[in-house]
Amino acid sequence: MHVAKMIIISLVAFILVTIVVTQVLQDIIFFSLFIGIPAGIVAFVLTFVYLYMQKNE
């Protein structure tokens, strides 16, 4: 798998996780983006690392 595809897939994971976490916490925490964006970044990194490890096998 090319690095560009891995980045695109990881970016989609970032966007989805950020939106889901922000929407779930919207009624509980006023600044839910402060939790949603870091959760999205973690999802991006974990997805990219997982795809990179699968590429090397």
Summary count for the chain: helices (H), strands (E): 2, 0
Range of the domain at 30: 3-56
Number of domains in the chain: 1
Q: pLDDT for 1-47, tens place per residue?
A: 688 999 999 999 999 999 999 999 998 888 888 999 999 999 999 99
Predicted confidence at residue 19, as pLDDT, reads 95
Per-residue burial over 19-35, b if 16 or more Cβ lie within 10 Å, else e, is eebbeebeeeeeebeeb
Residue among 22, 48, 46 nearest 36 (CA): 22
pLDDT score at 57:
72
